[in-house]
Amino acid sequence: MNRRRVLRRRIVVAILLLLSVAMLTLYFRESDSGIARGVQSVVLRVVAPLQNGTARATKPFRDAWNWAGDLFSAKSENNELRKEVEQLRVGVANELTTQAENDELRAMVKLRDDKIFPKGVRLVTGRVVARSTTAWYSTATINVGSRTGVEVYDAVVNGAGLVGRVTSVTANAAQVTLITDQQSYVDGMVMPGGAQGILSGSVTGDVTLQYVDKNERIKVGQLVVTSGRKGSIFVRGIPVGVVESVGLQEVELYQSIAVGPWVDFRKLDLVQVVVR
Amino acid sequence: MTLERTSIDTAREWSSGGETARLAVMLVIAALLQTTVAPNIRILGANPDFALIIIVCVALMKGSEIGAVFGFLTGVMVAIALMEPFGLSAFVFVVVGYFAGRYAETADLSAGFAPLLTTFAATLVANILFAMAQFLLERQVPMGFFLGRVLIPSLIINTLLAAPLYLVVRLGLRGAGDLRAARAR
């Protein structure tokens, strides 16, 4: 009897492990409209309202926790903010001195005066209902999906700037890969000046503007926005952050620039999806 | 010896509908805590892994078979809620649930530190498995980052949270089917 029970236990565990591997393989091999994603979509219809409710119910506690955390870090943050103000002052001074010239050049080449969100773009507001807790992924689940017009590759912003892009959609939920994720790549540029590069996240959560021409002169405190060049999924001019440091080595072909994002990813709550 | 084994095995049997319902509620709570509450709690730079701790607690109380099934379902639920790849969390949590349950079935659980010790070991195993999976998925896995910002903080937080969560889970699943209760009989 006992032997049979041990055998059953081992079979159950073996089946579960095999099932896990099979699901993982299926997930990576199938298309976006495959079985695994279909199941995910159906189950999320039930789970999403629960997540939404839990996120709302726990908001006061989250706010209290964040407040307590902020209190502890207020002193060091104060010093950081002082430095940041100095950096921003440099950035604003730069911007003011180049603003007139920039306007003039725009008029000369008859560039379209881009607003951040051009005509035809719709902003869909959603709430972050779940977040990845592993250090390996920087993703969030929001409570709006294809039912409101959200599609894969749509940009996601909040009041502070660029949050990320939609990487998976179901009827009433979407997964957003944050710009801090190590598999996030956004075409960005430094303003003023317009030096272009690729903004990439990392496993540590740092954001770096890579592949910037070595001859471009970048200063700490300059602004980084999306470049929105042809074929990009991001519209031009979405604020991303400020230049924190510039890594320039003689042997390197490009400069690597550390960018401090404006979005506080710890406190993500309401976001807007840029639906085109 | 025979009598003791019988009572433990009886405890491990898939029990009444009421208890299955309690386990199902525990599963939903674990997934919701993991996806909506844990991301907002950051201690020492890491987030607590509520799902893992609850799986360990359930496995310690219910044994390896239920532990493995509970781990699998929790992994699937978490992956669905986060829209992450199916199967990865499920695989890791099956391993954790099974071995935590086996520990409960073979070791003396009368010592109060058993949940802490098991959670510590489970966190270690789970983090190593997750890191290996990331490596296989061709994502960056810097060793210094893994040790300093992932593994060590997680070990500390999860071990500290193990005792209170164990009490809560035990309260939620109290009654028939508890391995310790079976042993006491």
Q: Which of chain B's residues have a Cβ under 8 Å away from the Cβ of A265?
A: none
Domain that holds residue B144: 2-184
CATH of the domain at B148: 1.10.1760.20
Does residue A270 share a domain with residue A217? Answer: yes
More confident residue, A51 or B184: A51
Confidence of residue A118 (pLDDT cuts 50, 70, 90): low
Question: Would you state the pLDDT for residue A94?
Answer: 60
Same domain, A27 and A93: no
How many domains, chain B? Answer: 1
Residue A221 contacts residue A233 (beta carbons within 8 Å): no
A27: containing domain: 2-48
Q: What is the pLDDT of residue B6?
A: 43
Residue with more model confidence, B112 or A185: A185
- Among candidates B37, B84, B142 on the partner chain, residue whose Cβ is nearest the Cβ of A137: B84
Helix (H, G, I), strand (E, B) or coil at A206: coil
pLDDT digits (tens, 9 = 90+) for A71-111: 666 667 777 777 777 777 666 656 655 564 555 445 434 33
What's the mean pLDDT in A17-22? 90
Q: Please indicate whether, in this complex, the C-beta atoms of B49 and A133 are within 8 angstroms of each other.
A: yes
Among A1-5, A104-108, A138-142, B53-57, the range of highest mean pLDDT: B53-57
Cβ <8 Å between B91 and A20: yes
Say what the pLDDT of residue B3 is: 39
Q: Taking a C-beta distance cutoff of 8 angstroms, is the pair B62, B12 a contact?
A: yes
Cα distance from A11 to chain B (closest Cα, Å)?
Answer: 10
Confidence bin at B94 (pLDDT 50/70/90): very high
Other Cβ atoms less than 10 A from the Cβ of B123: the count is: 23
A42 and A126, same domain (yes or no): no
Residue B178 pLDDT: 57
Q: Say if residue A83 is in the same domain as residue A40.
A: no
CB contact under 8 A, A16 and B90: yes
* Mean pLDDT of the A157-167 span: 85
pLDDT, mean over chain A: 78
pLDDT, tens digit (0-9, with 9 covering 90-100), for A37-81: 777 777 777 777 777 777 777 777 767 766 666 666 666 777 777
Tokens of B37: 């509450």
Q: Is residue A125 part of a domain?
A: yes
Mean pLDDT, range A194-212, rounded to an integer: 85
In chain B, % of residues over pLDDT 70: 85
**What is the pTM (predicted TM-score) of this model?**
0.73
* Residues of chain A contacting B39 with CB distance shorter than 8 Å: 130-133
Say how many domains are in chain A: 2
For A27, phi and psi rounded to 5 degrees? Answer: -60, -40
Structure tokens belonging to residue B67: 């532990």
Q: Which pLDDT band, with edges at 50, 70 and 90, does B8 fall under?
A: very low
Q: Do A54 and B141 lie within an 8 Å CB cutoff?
A: no
Q: Which residue of chain A comes nearest to B6, CA vs CA?
A: A2
Interface of A with B in 125-184 (CB under 8 A): 129-137, 139, 141, 168, 170, 173-175, 182-183
Do B94 and A173 lie within an 8 Å CB cutoff?
Answer: no
> What's the CA gap between A113 and A268, in Å, rounded?
31
| Token pair belonging to A9 | 């236990």
pLDDT at A177 over 70: yes
Partner residue opposite A20 with nearest CB, options B47, B90, B141: B90
Q: Is residue A132 part of a domain?
A: yes
Tell me how far apart the alpha carbons of residues B103 and B118 are, in angstroms, rounded to a whole number. Answer: 8
**What angle separates helix B50-62 from helix B152-172, to the nearest 10 degrees?**
50
- Contact B82/A175, CB-based, under 8 Å? yes
| CATH value at residue A92 | 2.40.10.340
In a domain, A66, yes or no: no
Is A211 inside any structural domain? yes
Confidence at residue B181, expressed as pLDDT on a 0 to 100 scale = 55
Nearest-by-CA chain A residue for B82: A141
Q: Among A194, A183, A182, A140, which Cα is nearest to A163's?
A: A140
Coil, strand, or helix at residue A232?
Answer: coil
For residues A228 and A176, what is the distance between their CA atoms, to the nearest angstrom? 19
Residues 6+ positions from A242 with CB-CB distance below 8 Å: A84, A87, A88, A91, A220, A221, A222, A223, A224, A259, A260, A262
Q: Give the 3-state secondary structure of chain B.
A: CHHHHHHHHHHHCCCCHHHHHHHHHHHHHHHHHHHHHHHHCCECCECCCHHHHHHHHHHHHHCHHHHHHHHHHHHHHHHHHHCCCCCHHHHHHHHHHHHHHHHHHHCCCCCCCHHHHHHHHHHHHHHHHHHHHHHHCCCCCCHHHHHHHHHHHHHHHHHHHHHHHHHHHHHHCCCCCCHHHHHHC
Kindly state whether A73 is in contact with chain B, defined as any CB-CB distance less than 8 angstroms: no
Whether A67 is covered by a domain: the verdict is: no
What average pLDDT does the segment B150-165 reach? 90
Nearest C-alpha in B relative to A10: B65
Kindly list the distances between the CA atom of residue B137 and the CA atoms of A24, A28, A178, B26, B140, in Å, as whole numbers in the listed order: 11, 10, 19, 31, 9
User: Nearest chain B Cα to A268, which residue?
Assistant: B40
Tell me which residue in A23, A47, A50 faces B86 most closely, judged by beta carbons.
A23
Spatial separation of the C-alpha atoms in residues A20 and A15, rounded to whole Å: 9
Please give the single-letter amino acid code of residue A195.
Answer: A
Pair (A113, A190) in one structural domain: yes
Measure Cα distances from B164 to A67, B98, B104, B111 in Å.
Answer: 24, 22, 18, 15
Burial of residue A46, with CB atoms counted within 10 A of its CB: 0-12 exposed, 13-18 middle, 19 or more buried: exposed
Residues A36 and A95 in one domain: no
Q: Which of A25, A135, A141 is facing B82, going by the closest CB pair?
A: A141
* DSSP state letter for A216: S
Residue A260 has pLDDT above 90, yes or no: no
Q: Which residues of B touch A183 (CB under 8 A)?
A: 139
Q: Which range scores top for mean pLDDT: A39-43, A251-255, B79-83?
A: B79-83
User: What is the reported pLDDT for B156?
Assistant: 92
pLDDT of residue A7 exceeding 60? yes
Same domain, A30 and A78: no
Residues A116 and A200 in one domain: yes
Minimal CA separation from B36 to chain A, in Å: 5
Among chain A residues, the shortest Cα distance to B78 is held by: A132
Answer yes or no: is A268 within a domain.
yes
pLDDT tops 70 at residue A121: yes
